[in-house]
Chain A
Amino acid sequence: AQSVTQLGSHVSVSEGALVLLRCNYSSSVPPYLFWYVQYPNQGLQLLLKYTTGATLVKGINGFEAEFKKSETSFHLTKPSAHMSDAAEYFCAVSDLGNDYKLSFGAGTTVTVRA
């Protein structure tokens, strides 16, 4: 079974500072990895995904993540936080079987200080 661990349930950053959200996964085979963002009272929106190929993945809104197989990690970063980045972020891993269901981490809430 696959699982995802997100370190830190809450992260507070100053506007303009680096955003770093940590995600580690356990999987017996190379997985597909995802980061989703959830704004209040909205559904999940895909930020970026890793499937195959380049291990540094760029997503929307200036976010990127690096797949490190040796560390079983997929940390999300953004060089300069904006007030609009305040949201909850979920890391997820996909079952590569026929159903591709997602297993999510518990989420990290990001607050941005002016």
Chain B
Amino acid sequence: GAGVSQTPSNKVTEKGKYVELRCDPISGHTALYWYRQSLGQGPEFLIYFQGTGAADDSGLPNDRFFAVRPEGSVSTLKIQRTERGDSAVYLCASRLAGDSYNEQFFGPGTRLTVL
């Protein structure tokens, strides 16, 4: 079946601009996660959705970052007033609810470059 998809695969923007990154989880997966992977580092947690609600947004670095999942499937990560330090690969993962063994399936990521 189809895996997690993310669009765009690459996004180049200028400092100060607004960007939106999209994630399509595996059908039926109610748990959705966003992570950020900076160059040379492991992914870092940003936000977790259970259904439509953000159950844990403790990883969002500041209020320029926001994410939504209005219908409990597709999620959009929104970054306002982008800064060069926001350049990274943004990864999305989904998990089947009730899976206590917690296998998260990852998308290929969106590489964001802020010039």
A36 to B55, CA, bound (A): 24
Q: Which residues of A contact B44 (CB under 8 A)?
A: 104
The proximity string for B residues 28-40 relative to A, scoring 1 for CB distances below 8 Å and 0 otherwise, is 0001010100001
Q: Which of B41, B50, B55 contacts A107 (CB 8 A)?
A: B41
Q: Which residues of B contact A44 (CB under 8 A)?
A: 43, 91, 93, 106
Q: A41-B108, A99-B55, A100-B31 are in contact. Are A51 and B45 (CB under 8 A)?
A: no
Q: Which residues of A contact B4 (CB under 8 A)?
A: 43
Docked-complex contact B101 and A42, CB < 8 angstroms = no
Give residues in B with beta carbon < 8 Å to A: 4, 31, 33, 35, 40-45, 48, 50, 55-56, 59, 91, 93, 95, 100-109
Docked-complex contact A32 and B43, CB < 8 angstroms = no
A45 to B106, CA, bound (A): 7
Q: Which residues of A contact B101 (CB under 8 A)?
A: 32, 49, 51
